[in-house]
Structure 1
């Protein structure tokens, strides 16, 4: 669901195929952070000159704690909502108030435009109702193209006709608008494995088709799909392509690289740093969008095993994972008052003993990891 890019083409192919198979079986499933070093020479991803916008005063949450913390739900990747409900129970009690739910367009409309797939609608009905009953605000991320929507048939290919996507998200907004707090358009469109071509102009056309489609049925914010890293260069190109009036909130996924580095690692111009957030803000201010918030719709560290010593797949200990969660929240809240919700990736560790499956707040059996206590402490203002 996020993207730390793997240099090995073979590894990308294996993970992409695994992700596609998972999507076909259970909906909007995708690999967790792919975990490898990005190519600094690739357009839109790499290092840029550090730009510091006009300083803003530090802010803090109310003494009662941080009400803008949440988690990425993976427990709904099934044909039943039971596990997702149990997970939402645990994390809501720990203080989470937001949940990000990825929804597979290809699973909603596998055969063509028209009515949504009944079993998947029932599943999402149960998940969204469960979130509402627990006081969780939902961010829906709609992505993954059905095979019929693009010539190549890949779920990661942009649709040939953006109106097909717009029609789908309009139908979703009409059905679930009362239970959804925000609509995120795709996932990491600047990452070519998740959005083939990673072209800012192509994404902007999709975004600008989706915006009025959502607004016909729901006034909730439309979110510029979470950028992999704090990719200010790619964002600027999207603005140049006309994105300014097509979103209400900008989302980023500011994973830190190397992947065991702490949250406050200096940016030094690198987009793969949480501390590069001011550069993204500077682009927004250049385009007179300073009134819009930045939301962090994915952020996390893995406590799974290292992947062959790759510095972009380095894990941390469970205690470090917890410490980094608390440190990241404190850093963002003290330095970046324009940032709204912070969504931890993810709810539950995956089923394998690998780096990619180690990002959860809970063990697979739903036992708490130290990171869950760190979330609870941050939510309570400790």
Structure 2
């Protein structure tokens, strides 16, 4: 008897079309993680528990933490190296890192631990600052100590924060020639060796953590990565350079005030819209024998800056919309295994119109909630299609599995129920609906405890 499966599939597709439902993207990763980074709150013993409780309520189950070498090393501000066993974790002052990582472990959360500068002055070649030519040998000893300290709590590590920026690693360029990539490769290999010395043989150790754009004093991320992998501009590998072992590549796909649709003119820059540039570059690098094929991408730092920053910030409405659109882009990319949100609260301003930090928080610096806070719990993105309809993607982040959520629509005269939807196991849904006019959409979700949450309204964007 012929199988009924093809017939049933056709019928299911017809029903979905009649209902206006879009089939889940075949290429989307169902296991993509959302990592959250909030150092101002999580490394503050007075704020930590409240911040963890809020993140838990938002559906967060993974953190990214930057471990700053100088902050825990003995005599970190001195140019004289103290006499100590640098591989011994008991020789360091781990401070609030111990408490934070223990709290994450107690909640069953995963952590990506980025081991980075600033470094002790005594661990640099000239011993004048905390970022110029760090010693790979000293870094290996330090990562051995880190692995021995936190190896039972961490299974994903990353080597260096934004090594293509001079504020984290110098020099980037010396006598007209790029040297930052070579310095970084040496540090990465030393750090990896240190973790293996500590027994972390089955862990994921990430390469990259690159910033999204180049400039006159720093290399664009793809240029930096090519050089660190001993590749020329045409992805030809230097014969004397061995294949680099890594379990993934980390990148910070920030965009500009133009939002997630921004496409940088420099083909070696990688913002959220063009993350495919990075995966394509990695494919070429793998074919050249520089890395293993099909490495996953970790977008380990991301956020949308908002007002009150008048130079780089967008409106509060745009912050919420741009963040959700960016998350949808990441969710649709099969290589991306982790996306991120940088900051729960904005950095503090140092004066009028002086915002030298980041205003990517879901709350203002004073703790007041932005619309993006509610939007983070219930992200929703509406993309215009060429046929005049709208493709909607949404996520009920706190739902730990299948749930129902109400999608509401407004044409300017108040919101009404458009459809009650059932999500997948990850809490996501997709829907194709009518577009045009002044339509806006929002989500309403009832939590298991009966609390009803409503997302900010979003408009359709050109995709």
Where on the TM-score scale, by shorter chain, does this alignment land: which range?
0.7 to 0.9
Q: Is the 8 A contact 1:70 1:100 kept in 2?
A: yes
Instruction: Using the TM superposition, name which of 132-141 and 268-277 deviates more.
Output: 268-277
Q: Secondary structure at the match of 1:96?
A: coil
Q: How far does residue 203 in structure 1 lie from its aligned partner after superposition?
A: 0.6
Counterpart position of 1:232: 222
Higher relative strand content:
2
User: Which residue of the partner structure matches residue 148 of structure 1?
Assistant: 122
Measured after TM superposition, the shift of residue 267 of structure 1 is 4.3
C-alpha displacement of 1:361: 1.9
Q: Secondary structure at the match of 1:75?
A: helix
Q: SS where residue 179 of structure 1 aligns?
A: coil
How well do the aligned residues superpose, as a CA RMSD in angstroms?
2.5
The answer to whether 1:327 aligns with 2:329 is no
**CA displacement at 1:86 relative to structure 2:** 2.1
Which residue is equivalent to 1:362?
363
Match of 1:371 in 2: 372
Closer, same or farther: CA 91–120 of 1 in aligned 2, 3 Å:
farther
Does 1:245 pair with 2:219? no
Q: Which residue of 2 aligns with 1:176?
A: 150
What are the superposed Cα offsets for residues 276-304 of structure 1, whole Å, 9 maximum, x if unpaired?
Answer: 32221122112223321111111111113
Asked which structure has the greater CA Rg, the reply is 2
Unaligned residue ranges in structure 2 (runs of 5+)? 1-24, 76-81, 173-179, 214-220, 232-240, 287-291, 379-394, 398-426, 430-463
- Show CA shifts across 1:194-230 (max 9, x none): 2112311111011111112212322221111410117
Aligned-partner SS, 1:121: coil
Find the residue that maps to 2:129 and give its secondary structure: coil
Equivalent residue, structure 2, for 1:280 = 278
Report the equivalent of 1:207: 188
Whether contact under 8 Å (2:307, 2:359) holds in the other structure is yes
Deviations 1:230-264 (Å, cap 9, x if unpaired)? Answer: 721211111117584232111111111xx211212
**Kept in 2: contact 1:269–1:276 (CA 8 A):** no
Contact 2:32 2:336 in 1 (8 A): no
Q: Which has the higher helix share?
A: 1
Deviation at 1:103, TM superposition (A): 1.2
Separation in 1 of the partners of 2:42 and 2:54? 18
Structure 1: which 5+ residue stretches go unaligned?
1-56, 308-312
1:369 CA displacement:
2.4
Please report how far the alpha carbon of residue 152 of structure 1 lies from its aligned counterpart in structure 2 after TM superposition: 3.7
Q: Distance in 2 between matches of 1:76 and 1:167?
A: 30
Q: Shift of the alpha carbon at 1:328?
A: 0.4
Instruction: Answer yes or no: is the 8 Å Cα contact 2:158–2:205 preserved in 1.
Output: yes
1:381 offset after TM fit, Å? 2.3
Aligned to 2:28: 60
How many angstroms apart in 2 are the aligned matches of 1:116 and 1:174?
7
Q: How does 1:274-313 map to 2 (within 5 A)?
A: 274-288=272-286, 289-306=292-309, 313=311
CA contact (8 A) 1:107 1:117 kept: no
Partner-residue secondary structure (3-state), 2:94 = helix
Q: Distance in 2 between matches of 1:165 and 1:287?
A: 26
Instruction: Tell me which moved more, 130-139 or 370-379.
Output: 370-379
Task: State the secondary structure of the residue aligned to 2:327.
Answer: helix
- Report what 2:168 is aligned to: 194
Matched, 1:315 2:319: no
Deviates more, 1:203-212 or 1:145-154: 145-154
Per-residue deviation at 1:128?
Answer: 0.3
Residue of structure 1 in register with 2:109 after alignment: 136
Query: 1:54-102, CA deviations, whole angstroms, 9 ceiling, x for partnerless residues?
Result: xxx852354xxx7511211212685x53323321221122012221111
Inter-CA distance 243–306: structure 2 relative to 1 (3 Å threshold) = farther
TM-score, scaled to structure 1 = 0.75
Aligned to 1:339: 336
Moved more, 345-354 or 130-139: 345-354
> 181, 201, 204: which is aligned to 1:221?
204
Are residues 203 and 367 of structure 1, via their aligned partners in 2, closer, same or farther at CA, if it must alter by over 3 Å?
A: same
In 2: Cα distance, 1:117 partner to 1:371 partner: 41
**Secondary structure of the residue that 1:127 maps to in structure 2?**
helix
Structure 1 residues 182 and 243, CA gap change in structure 2 (3 angstroms): farther
- Partners of 1:211 and 1:118 lie apart in 2 by 21
Deviation at 1:110, TM superposition (A): 3.3
Counterpart of 2:428 in structure 1 is 381
- Residue 306 (structure 1) shift: 3.8
Q: Which has the higher contact order (CA 8 A, sep 6+)?
A: 1
Matched, 1:165 2:139: yes
**Structure 1's 251 and 191: CA in aligned 2 closer, same or farther, altered over 3 A?**
same
Mean Cα deviation higher: 363-372 or 216-225: 363-372
